[in-house]
Amino acid sequence: MELKKYKVCPSCGEHNKPTSLECRKCETDLTGVRVVDSEIEQRKLEKENAGGKPTDSDAGNDIQLVRVCEECGAENAPQARKCKQCGEEISDILPTPVLKREEPIFSFELKSVDGIFSTKIYKTLSIIGREADLKEYLGTKAYVSRQHAELTVVAGKVFIKNLSGTNKTFVNNEEISNDEPHVLANGDEIGLGGKVIADERQDNAAYFLFQG
């Protein structure tokens, strides 16, 4: 996958991660190499093609600094010490410039029924599972698939869709379809990989309360 932000190696031209200190291909020192944002460069090119001359201020007005989590890729405030999505320590990551954009502000939240874990829903599209979003909590749940369910935010509503071919997703103990997204209501209980049987929840499944 092509990087949206990168450091271009002055020796071999390799595109490296914005946090790289040396080129992954030829090991050239990259500490003094500036980060390039492909979207910003594209805007410059479009302005040139339209007959205008891009300036540093044109790009500067559209840039903000963020700390990009190396664990999950989430963008955090430059002063953040822990990732807002996965909780990973990011205080040693250098802030990098990215293109400013309006972030949707959501008030939705998932809280595990056991009270151990909670997370805000801050993206319009999230894939949750043992090897996807929420993996820090779901990683030990054997009945949860690697990519188990999809959460989408549309017109102020949150929808959930099962993605697993072997494990099921339940809302209020009712199995939901793999084909049609199910809209969530405040207080709904989501079961990943298991339902409640005789008031008992399965240890290898995961259960969340939706708030929003």
Distances (CA, A) of 176 to 28, 112, 173: 52, 19, 9
Q: In this predicted model, what pLDDT tens digit does every residue of 106-157 receive, in sequence order?
A: 679 999 999 999 998 878 888 999 999 999 999 999 999 999 999 998 888 8
Among the listed ranges 48-57, 119-128, 160-169, 182-191, which one has the minimum average pLDDT value?
48-57
Q: Quick count: other Cβ atoms within 10 Å of Cβ 72?
A: 17
DSSP reduced 3-state for 59:
helix
Among the listed ranges 10-14, 22-26, 182-186, which one has the minimum average pLDDT value?
10-14
Query: In what order do the strands lie in the sheet containing 189-192?
Result: 118-120, 109-112, 206-211, 189-192, 169-171, 174-175
Q: How far apart are the first and last CA of the chain?
A: 34
d(CA 168, CA 67): 35
DSSP character for 49?
A: H
Nearest to 193 by CA among 154, 172, 157, 162: 162
Q: In this predicted model, what pLDDT tens digit does every residue of 41-67 receive, in sequence order?
A: 545 544 554 555 544 444 445 677 888
Percent with pLDDT over 70 in the chain: 82
d(CA 79, CA 94): 10
